[in-house]
Amino acid sequence: MSATPMNQPVKGYKNPNLPVNERIEDLIGKMTLEEKVGQMNQFVGVEHIKTNSAVMTADELKNNTANAFYPGFTEKDIEKWTKDGKIGSFLHVLTLEEANYLQRLAMESRLQIPIIFGIDAIHGNANAPDNTVYPTNIGLACSFDTTMAYTIARQTAKEMRAMNMHWTFNPNVEVARDPRWGRVGETFGEDPYLVTLMGVQSVKGYQGELNGKEDVLACIKHFVGGSQPINGTNGAPTDISERTLREVFFPPFEAGVDAGAMSLMTAHNELNGIPCHSNEWLMTDVLRGEWDFKGFVVSDWMDIEHIHDLHATAENLKEAFYQSIEAGMDMHMHGIHWNEYVCELVREGRIPESRIDESVRRILDIKFRLGLFENPYADPNETMNIRLCPEHRNTALEAARNGIVLLKNEGGLLPLSKNQYKKILVTGINADDMNILGDWSAPQKRENYTTVLDGLKQTAPEIAFDFVDQGWDPRNMDPAKVEEAANKAKDADLNIVVAGEYMMRFRWADRTCGEDTDRSDIDLVGLQNELIEKVAASGKPTLLVLINGRPLGVEWAAENLPAIIEAWEPGMYGGQAISEVIFGDVNPSAKLAVTIPRSVGQTQMIYNHKPSMYFHPYVVKPSTPLYPFGFGLSYTTFGYENLTLDKKQIKPDESLTVSVNVTNTGKREGTEIVQLYIRDKFSCVTRPVKELKDFARVTLQPGESKMIEFTITPDKLSFYDKKMNKIVEKGDFEVMIGSSSDDQDLQKEIFTVI
């Protein structure tokens, strides 16, 4: 369908042959103030409004960031505003039918400006039904596979456009440094370098050339610091020095801008006393002034309102809108008062209309570039030829296989032999539940996901699996079911407990992990530890499989069980991938993208800490993590030798090559993730004990060796000096290469910058 009837000549902004900038200027010249301000406003979809207004009160909305409606207004009001051209964007539109319907309403408006539909497509377009559900970002990061990040983003873009959705609120490039925070699972972990590379490839995968029918707008978020809140809770205040901001938190965002990301979302939190949504230094000075960002900035969920009603730096809503726009905000997510108050601010002369035009140009630029004026609809007859297609399903399975981390394998319990065990007990809250899909997933059809129990039965049909269902809710486990599992464990040859957290959004209040689901501890919730201990007390070998979005302090299990698998949130084929790892059809290769602490008392536990962090170690308990960043086992072994530098001395603007010989010293093919770390031995300001600066995935046959080379460029040595100037300082640097960030896994050499 076309937005312009065929019998009318195509003129001005509707002419696809004109340069985009000419189309924008022509259209802006025709727009009223109300239409311009409407382009800067986003609403939730009408079906979302119908559903939530029927079951929620206005008071219940205040602290809810998943559901929304507009008290005093109905979906009919929203439909009218759409036809009047006063809404620029929708989110929480979850079906092709609704997207096309709202777009048809927009085509009834005076200027026929299309809607841009945004959605939280965090790991595939999983927040909408009938789409491919890939592993969440933390599992993807554990693969250290940047090519896979690009592929998943590219496939997600295709599925989104097949549903008439154009804008994903991803990648989340926050650097996760607090395990209490519920959103660790939607990040790429704790290391700025890894987060940067995964984020860049995601941006490129989503956006393509940002001019085709298979491209979508990426959104780098949340700017900035929300992943290190002072008490671990989402949106809590963040106090971070400029040095830490520039060395840890800014790099993934700056790289995302350099990669072409054309939208950015600001963070819920205040940063050093100033709400991010009214922070001119962030949005204008740094983002546009230093990094030359050309796209548009969007608020997070009602966070401009929170400048008034939460942070209390604006006396009323109108003042909050004023502060945010003046600081650099372009689009409001979401609400009914924006249009009225912003138009008043312009008419009163407080905000010049030219400032509004700046934001509208940025938004219209994306709509033109994505071809929405020419193709405002998606074809319902073609949509399922793209969504859930075999190619995308295969990617989801491969990504799940590559993101599963083998944490412990004492005595070589794994892989299991299909001939050795006749009867296996399977139990735990995540053994047979769609929770395996992970956070940001809508309920999917039963045939579109495999649970761990499904996978075990498919992979080893000759084995009798005795399943004791513990329910899906860790907070309300039945003690009788725990006892049943304990008793049946005695009769089994081997036991598998599938534990972890609960993330599904359709039971928002029952979740233990995910957005706005933060914890004051990182223990297993409910009776899960009791279940593990009682099953293990059977004396039979017991394997623990974890399904979760944050690091969990499973210290008892780590000390007492022979084998532990960290599967994170592995997506639609997670059950198959886990079972293939258990039985050895897949050799695990993933490495931790985040440190796993022993307990919440170790917060902050990161590998790239400063030298004085453990000058005085903890008493009673160890100061070491349960499992370090970069750690992960394989069913084969790898040897490192002959770490060699091509130069021992370089000038500050020179590079050097470092090489190491890696050998598969085991008996089966395996993939090793070779990691390179650097430490500045002595510096004018304190520097981390080590920082990841490169890595490589290498697949080796038994006995095969490969020489792995890395180039150390000046940017890998640079840091901010006392006056916040970025320099490469003269002196000694230590280069470390190995299988994890743990010192015992690293070979080391010294070179000097002269």
**Which CATH number belongs to the domain containing residue 694 in this structure?**
2.60.40.10
Query: Mean pLDDT over residues 671-686, rounded?
Result: 98
The domain in which residue 662 lies consists of 638-753
Q: Of 385, 416, 435, which residue constitutes the final position of a domain?
A: 385
pLDDT digits (tens, 9 = 90+) for 556-591: 999 999 999 999 999 999 999 999 999 999 999 999
Q: Identify which of 549, 541, 457, 464 has the alpha carbon closest to the alpha carbon of residue 500.
A: 549
Average pLDDT, the chain: 96
- Which residue is catalytic, options 178, 300, 518, 680? 300
Q: Would you state the pLDDT for residue 683?
A: 97
Decide: helix, strand or coil at residue 743. Answer: helix
pLDDT band at 212 (very low <50, low <70, confident <90, very high): confident
Q: Are residues 577 and 645 in the same domain?
A: no
Task: Please determine, for residue 324, whether its predicted confidence score (pLDDT) is greater than 60.
Answer: yes
Q: Would you state the pLDDT for residue 67?
A: 75
pLDDT digits (tens, 9 = 90+) for 510-563: 999 999 999 999 999 999 999 999 999 999 999 999 999 999 999 999 999 999
Q: Of 352, 385, 418, which residue constitutes the final position of a domain?
A: 385
pLDDT digits (tens, 9 = 90+) for 84-101: 999 999 999 999 999 999
Determine, yes or no, domain membership for 392.
no
Query: Mean pLDDT over residues 423-427, rounded?
Result: 98
Task: Please determine, for residue 274, whether its predicted confidence score (pLDDT) is greater than 80.
Answer: yes
pLDDT band at 701 (very low <50, low <70, confident <90, very high): very high
Q: Are residues 344 and 412 in the same domain?
A: no
Q: Would you state the pLDDT for residue 73?
A: 85
Query: Which tokens go with 597?
Result: 């602490």
pLDDT digits (tens, 9 = 90+) for 41-96: 999 999 888 887 666 676 765 666 667 778 788 889 999 999 999 999 999 999 99
Residue 651 amino acid letter: K
Query: How far is 423 from 496, CA to CA, in rounded Å?
Result: 11
Q: Of 614, 630, 657, which residue constitutes the final position of a domain?
A: 614
**Which CATH number belongs to the domain containing residue 355 in this structure?**
3.20.20.300
Task: Please determine, for residue 449, whether its predicted confidence score (pLDDT) is greater than 60.
Answer: yes
Count of structural domains within the chain? 3
**By the 8 A CB rule, do 688 and 666 touch?**
no
Q: Kindly give the residue spans of alpha helices, DSSP state H, lying in 379-445.
A: 383-386, 390-403
pLDDT digits (tens, 9 = 90+) for 165-195: 999 999 999 999 999 999 999 999 999 999 9
Determine, yes or no, domain membership for 169.
yes
> DSSP letter at 491?
T
Determine, yes or no, domain membership for 542.
yes
Is the preceding omega at residue 8 within 30 degrees of 0, hence cis?
no
Q: Would you state the pLDDT for residue 8?
A: 60
Q: Are residues 548 and 644 in the same domain?
A: no
pLDDT band at 724 (very low <50, low <70, confident <90, very high): very high
Determine, yes or no, domain membership for 718.
yes
Angle at 337 between CA 333 and CA 338, to 5 degrees: 55
**By the 8 A CB rule, do 17 and 9 touch?**
no
Determine, yes or no, domain membership for 655.
yes
Q: Would you state the pLDDT for residue 2?
A: 45
Q: Would you state the pLDDT for residue 52?
A: 78
pLDDT digits (tens, 9 = 90+) for 260-270: 999 999 999 99
Q: Would you state the pLDDT for residue 1?
A: 43
Q: Are residues 161 and 276 in the same domain?
A: yes
Q: Would you state the pLDDT for residue 63?
A: 65
Q: Are residues 676 and 600 in the same domain?
A: no
Question: Is the overall model pTM greater than 0.95, yes or no?
Answer: yes
Query: How far is 359 from 324, CA to CA, in rounded Å?
Result: 12
Query: Which tokens go with 681?
Result: 């031995």
Task: Please determine, for residue 702, whether its predicted confidence score (pLDDT) is greater than 60.
Answer: yes
pLDDT digits (tens, 9 = 90+) for 349-375: 999 999 999 999 999 999 999 999 999
Q: Are residues 645 and 603 in the same domain?
A: no
Query: Mean pLDDT over residues 452-474, rounded?
Result: 98
For residue 627, give Cα distances in angstroms to 179, 337, 552, 692: 13, 49, 10, 17
Query: Mean pLDDT over residues 308-314, rounded?
Result: 98
Task: Please determine, for residue 232, whether its predicted confidence score (pLDDT) is greater than 80.
Answer: yes
Q: Is 433 a catalytic residue?
A: no
Q: Would you state the pLDDT for residue 479?
A: 98
Q: Would you state the pLDDT for residue 66?
A: 67
Question: What share of the chain has pLDDT > 90, as a percent?
Answer: 94
Q: Are residues 578 and 645 in the same domain?
A: no
Q: Would you state the pLDDT for residue 10?
A: 75
Q: Would you state the pLDDT for residue 521?
A: 97
Q: Would you state the pLDDT for residue 71?
A: 79
Residue 107 amino acid letter: M
